[in-house]
Amino acid sequence: MKYLLIAVLLWAAGNVQGQDTAAFRLSADSDTIFWSNYHLRYVEQLELLHPKGNTDFYRIILPGGCVEISGTQTDKVVFKVDEIWDNILTDDCFVQTFPLTENQVQRICHLIDSLMIDSIPSDQYIRQWHRGFDGVTYCLERRTGTAYSFKRYWTPSVQGNFREANLIAAFIEQLNIIAGYTDKRKIFEAAIPFYGWTSNNGTISRRVVSDSEHYNKYKRLKKKQLKQKAKMEKGRYK
């Protein structure tokens, strides 16, 4: 049905408000419970919509962040990085949110509907789809009432020439254009206040030192912070 997702996500989501959805159902074509539970920790860290909540949503996890659309919440692009210093996570993070316009949301919903993205199962159920170690995993989530789907697709651009891979690759490419994802990510990365960080795709990035005086002050601060962190962790396991 044309524009089904637009209707569900933009206008019909309100009818589930107040519904008890603690026991949501993971769809049969979703990835494993292990990966969905692992992913939900990321959702909670960014305070994104949770499938156990009472709001329907569609969310796409991309390198460095995600696109989230719903019927009652602010539609947005969210980026997050965790600081790394001396190859250790410092517990500091940097998050930035960019709103999506109504037109962008409608175009994304139409894209999902026209490419029939919801009909494509997670890649582990697609015989031709292979996985590797170096690549990018995209996650697609949809929550409608108590029904929840969580699907993962490893690097669609390097798969063979078959329907599912072509559709997911086309979807990611067009989503990037509609949401302005790459441009927003550049703005976000320019604002990151850290010298080293990692994001949801596991890569580690480092900033070139241009101000040695500021860097030396920052270095002393981080050494003190990591020393305090190590002391607290040591006391926790006594």
Give per-residue pLDDT as tens, 195-237: 999 988 678 899 888 778 888 888 888 888 888 877 777 666 5
Q: Of 105-109, 190-194, 195-199, 227-231, which range is least confident?
A: 227-231
Does residue 46 have a pLDDT over 80?
Answer: yes
Q: In this structure, are residues 135 and 117 in contact, taking their beta carbons and an 8 Å threshold? A: no
pTM: predicted TM-score of the whole model, two decimal places: 0.83
Nearest to 1 by CA among 147, 130, 119, 102: 119
What pLDDT, on the 0 to 100 scale, is given for residue 18?
A: 38
Residue range 129-185, pLDDT digits in tens: 998 878 899 999 999 988 999 999 999 999 999 999 999 999 999 999 999 999 999
Name the pLDDT band for 4 (thresholds 50, 70, 90). very low
- Percent share of the chain, pLDDT over 70: 87
User: What pLDDT score was predicted for residue 9?
Assistant: 44
Q: Does residue 223 sit within a domain?
A: no
Domain count, the chain: 1
**pLDDT score of 208:** 83
Instruction: Report the distance separating Cα 219 and Cα 18, nearest Å.
Output: 49
Per-residue pLDDT for 99 more than 70? yes
pLDDT on residue 14: 39
Residue type for 4, please? L
For residue 64, tell me if it sits in a domain: yes
How remote is the C-alpha of 234 from its chain's centroid?
A: 32
Tell whether the model's pLDDT for residue 2 goes beyond 50. Answer: no
* Residue 13, pLDDT score: 41
Q: How far apart are CA 20 and CA 75, in angstroms?
A: 23
Span 48-75, pLDDT tens digits: 998 888 899 999 999 999 999 997 768 9
Residue 9 DSSP symbol: I
| Nearest to 81, CA basis, from 225, 227, 202, 207 | 202
* Residue among 170, 221, 230, 183 nearest 77 (CA): 183
- Residue 101 maps to a domain: yes
Q: What's the pLDDT score for residue 236?
A: 64
What distances in angstroms separate CA 152 from CA 149, 221, 225, one per listed residue? Answer: 10, 39, 36
pLDDT: which is higher, 1 or 41: 41
Q: How far is CA 153 from CA 9, 92, 129, 201, 218, in A?
A: 23, 29, 9, 13, 39
What's the pLDDT score for residue 3? 43
Q: What is the mean pLDDT of residues 98-121?
A: 96
Q: How far is Cα 72 from Cα 92, in angstroms, rounded to an integer?
A: 30
Q: Where are the alpha helices (DSSP H) in the chain?
A: 4-6, 33-45, 102-114, 163-179, 181-191, 212-236
Give me the mean pLDDT over the 95-121 stretch. Answer: 96
In-domain check, residue 226: no
Residue 73 domain flag? yes
Residue 224 covered by a domain: no
For 174, the domain range is 4-207
Whether residue 232 lies inside any domain: the answer is no
The structure tokens 């940097």 sit at: 94
Question: Has residue 217 been placed in a domain?
Answer: no
> pLDDT grade, residue 6 (50/70/90)?
very low
